Amino acid sequence: MLLLTNRRIDCRMKKYFWILALVFTAHLGGAQDSSGVKISLLTCAPGAELYSLFGHSAIRVQDLSTGKDEVYNYGMFSFNTPNFYVKFFRGKLRYWLGKTTFQRFLRQYEYEERAVIENEFLLTAKEKYEVENFLRNNLRRENKFYSYDFFYDNCSSRIRDVMEEVLGDKLQWPEEAQEKLPSFRDQLDVYLIDNPWPDLGIDLVLGKPTDDPADFREQMFLPDFLKDNMSKGFVQRVGEKQNFLGPSKNVLAFPHVTPIVDFYKTPLFLFFCLFVLVAILGWKIPKGWGWKIFDFALIFITGLAGLLFFFMWTTTDHQACYQNWNMLWMFPLNVLGAFLIFTNEAFVKHYFLFYGAILVLAVVGWFFWPQQYQLVFLPIMLTILLRLYFRYFLKGPATTDRT
């Protein structure tokens, strides 16, 4: 009788042991499973071309049981699109989700010598199935296209959106601990500090939204920030927070080559030299046909740039180009005003007095405008002011125009 009782106790103990073991294993595994499916974030280093200066992000889906190894890429577009440049400048160019093999994806970055880092998403089997199903559905022709937006809807932010859509409230981001949030421009400058000419062009074209603070989610519009911020996220499971993104693994390792631009080739140095040259020559010879041509080109280019900024703000879908305060000194009406240089009408001086006052206002309010001005803008503004002063406001015999 005692032996029978002991056996019953032993059976019960084994039963409880296996139940506890299963619960414990499920709890420890959390985001692990034996499905053989792995879903990873791929972060690609910046490239040499303008469109690749900020890097790239994609999703890798592997099935170890079947050998499937695919990459889902939200950064697809075609230069062969009809009216490509018109659509690009108007913000109407459609991007789409594409799928390719991992090896084919990797060959492109190998050719360009750009590093690729992989981080596995720590998901359960059910969550992996839902992510892959979401991507497959997004790949359908009626769903794959989207209107690209530099800050708010691009190849990186779309990956964040996929995970938020699938995981819902389970996916949580940490509380923002930063006292002062970086602006979108601050984030871009990380990549542009060693690329002064692209930096100049981008700072000219992008408007006030570039200086708005970017919160934790919004910072993920850039691939490196997507990876770093996602690594701080967590998934709420079984009453506790579990890591969302695994550690980084080098898939392609290339050294980061920082482009070296000699200071004498930077826009700041060249435009400062232009200002000094204009100041010296203008003081000696303030007028003449040579100066008229120079002044026409200077005023016309600022007007043309101002028209472009106005066009990008009012007629395109590029939210980053809205409210471009560079139009204060790159004045759109200068496209017409430039032709006044070749006339001697009385109102010409009043027009350029008005434009000069705007330039002075732009310089005086340098630190107060809602949009940040780059330092290289200052010698350009001062050069224009100097020419307006020499041509229309400098008194004395030296200002007599014999032409």
The pLDDT tens digits of the residues spanning 318-341 come to 888 999 999 999 999 999 999 999
Query: Please, what are the domains in the chain?
Result: 33-176+215-252 (3.90.1720), 263-399 (no CATH)
Q: In this predicted model, what pLDDT tens digit does every residue of 52-95 receive, in sequence order?
A: 889 999 999 999 989 999 999 998 887 777 666 566 666 667 88
Q: In this predicted model, what pLDDT tens digit does every residue of 291-315 receive, in sequence order?
A: 999 999 999 999 999 999 999 899 8
- Given a cut of 60, whether residue 106 has pLDDT beyond it is yes
Q: What is the pLDDT of residue 78?
A: 76
What's the pTM? 0.83
- Which pLDDT band, with edges at 50, 70 and 90, does 399 fall under? very low
Q: What is the pLDDT of residue 176?
A: 66
Lowest mean pLDDT among 11-20, 74-83, 243-252, 345-354: 11-20
- Which pLDDT band, with edges at 50, 70 and 90, does 391 fall under? confident
Lowest mean pLDDT among 76-85, 106-115, 390-399: 390-399
- Which pLDDT band, with edges at 50, 70 and 90, does 1 fall under? very low
Lowest mean pLDDT among 146-160, 287-301, 303-317, 381-395: 381-395
- Given a cut of 70, whether residue 23 has pLDDT beyond it is no
Q: In this predicted model, what pLDDT tens digit does every residue of 237-283 receive, in sequence order?
A: 888 899 999 999 999 998 877 777 888 889 999 999 999 999 999 98
- Given a cut of 60, whether residue 24 has pLDDT beyond it is no
SS (H, E, C) the chain: CHHHHHHHHHHHHHHHHHHHHHHHHHHHHCCCCCCCEEEEEEEECCCCCHHHCCCEEEEEEEECCCCEEEEEEEEECCCCCCCHHHHHHHCCCEEEEEEEEHHHHHHHHHHCCCCEEEEEECCCHHHHHHHHHHHHHHCCHHHHEEECECCCECCCHHHHHHHHHHHHHHEECCCCCCCCCCEHHHHHHHHHCCCHHHHHHHHHHCCHHHHCECCCCHHHHCHHHHHHHHCCCEEEECCEEEECEEEEEEEECCCCCCCCCCHHHCHHHHHHHHHHHHHHHHHHCCCCHHHHHHHHHHHHHHHHHHHHHHHHHHCCCCHHHCCCHHHHCCCCCHHHHHHHHHCCCHHHHHHHHHHHHHHHHHHHCCCCCCCCCCCCHHHHHHHHHHHHHHHHHCCCHHHCCCC
